[in-house]
Amino acid sequence: MEGGGHPCETTRQGLILVASLVDKVPNLAGLTRTCEVFRAAALAVSDISVTAEQWMPLLEVPEADLSHWMVQKRAEGYRLIGVEQTAGSTLLPELAFPPKSVLLLGREREGIPLELLQLLDHTVEIPQLGVIRSLNVHVSGAIALYEYSRQQHAQQQAKLS
């Protein structure tokens, strides 16, 4: 999976992905890889020592500090967006992502706790047609990163033309 050599210095995007609520190591490892592929600004995790990572900028944000950290990010101009199915959620393709976005993923089973949901500017949900299962948290994060990247690219193309 890993190539040798030094990475090209392509610019990172403005999105910070927050996986501090994600517990399972394969999901954290997968999200780290996917964040690097999409050149996210950073990945926040609860314990930085769990994720061996050479390339991706990691932030250590334990769950106890998460609400404080998110409020601070909003003051820095970030919009706070959670991936969660709620009555008020916007469908993912219909949310216009601002370049400076903080994207919060939920716990593997329980999703995003209420006290953090209340802090968010938006919740988005990925349109799911099946009723038996829901998407894995790594896959949900990857799809949201793809959609964010797709929108940023389309906006850049529109500016150029």
Q: What is the signed CA dihedral for 112, 114, 119, 125, rounded to 10 degrees?
A: 40
In the list 68, 79, 138, 156, the residue contacting its own copies (rule: CB under 8 A) is: 138
Structure tokens at 106: 């939920």
From 44-52, 65-73, 112-120, 137-145, give the range in contact with its own copies by CB under 8 A: 137-145
Q: Which residues pair with 82 in a beta bridge?
A: 104, 123
Euclidean distance between CA atoms 97 and 143, whole angstroms: 13
Query: Taking CB under 8 A as the criterion, which residues in 13-42 touch its own copies?
Result: 13, 26, 30, 33-34, 36-39
Applying CB under 8 A, the site for its own copies has a residue count of 38
Nearest to 115 by CA among 78, 66, 46, 77: 66
Q: Could you say whether residue 49 binds its own copies (CB under 8 A)? A: no
User: Measured from the CB of residue 139, what is the shortest distance to its own copies in angstroms?
Assistant: 5
10 binds its own copies (CB under 8 A): yes
Q: How far apart are CA 40 and CA 57, in angstroms?
A: 9
| Residue type at position 143 | I
For its own copies, the binding residues (CB under 8 A) are 1-3, 7-8, 10, 13, 26, 30, 33-34, 36-39, 55, 93, 126-136, 138-139, 142-143, 146-147, 149-150, 153-154
